[in-house]
Amino acid sequence: MAREFSRLDRVAEQIQKELAQLIQRELKDPRLGMVTVNSVKVSKDLSYADVYVTVLNLKDVEDGDASKASLKVLEGAAGFLRSELGRAIKLRVMPQLRFHYDASVSNAQRLGALIQKARAKDGGATDTKDDSLN
């Protein structure tokens, strides 16, 4: 019976879970917004883990500088987070953490707003042809 997930996938999933909890509970920097760990990709040799995060700042949701500041805080705390991950996850070598901003959520919100704007411009009328096909 073949395995459903590779070892790299399981390690990445465990790092994502533990890292989300550590960021929420242990980091108390006021520059840090609400951070969501969207995904983690681990290199084949387990030397690096690319962590993709979305930052929701309560003050400025659209502010790009605030997300850069939050990423800087995360990069500064990478050593601490890595050592705490080493205590929580038993691996021979804990991967180096590299944080990246995941713009997919903000892109989806922007596209949703454009679709709503286009629907409002059309007068909010629904297309009856789509309803007849279903």
Structural domain contains residue 1: no
Residue 75's pLDDT is 93
Give residue 96's domain range: 7-124
Structural domain contains residue 131: no
Structural domain contains residue 56: yes
Structural domain contains residue 97: yes
Q: Are 53 and 99 in contact (CB under 8 A)?
A: yes
Q: What secondary structure letter does DSSP report for 23?
A: H
Structural domain contains residue 42: yes
Give the CATH number for residue 73.
3.30.300.20
* Total domains in the fold of the chain: 1
Structural domain contains residue 134: no
Residue 61's pLDDT is 46
pLDDT digits (tens, 9 = 90+) for 75-107: 999 999 999 999 999 989 899 999 998 888 778
Structural domain contains residue 96: yes
Torsion angle, CA of 22/32/104/4, rounded to 10 degrees? 0
Structural domain contains residue 98: yes
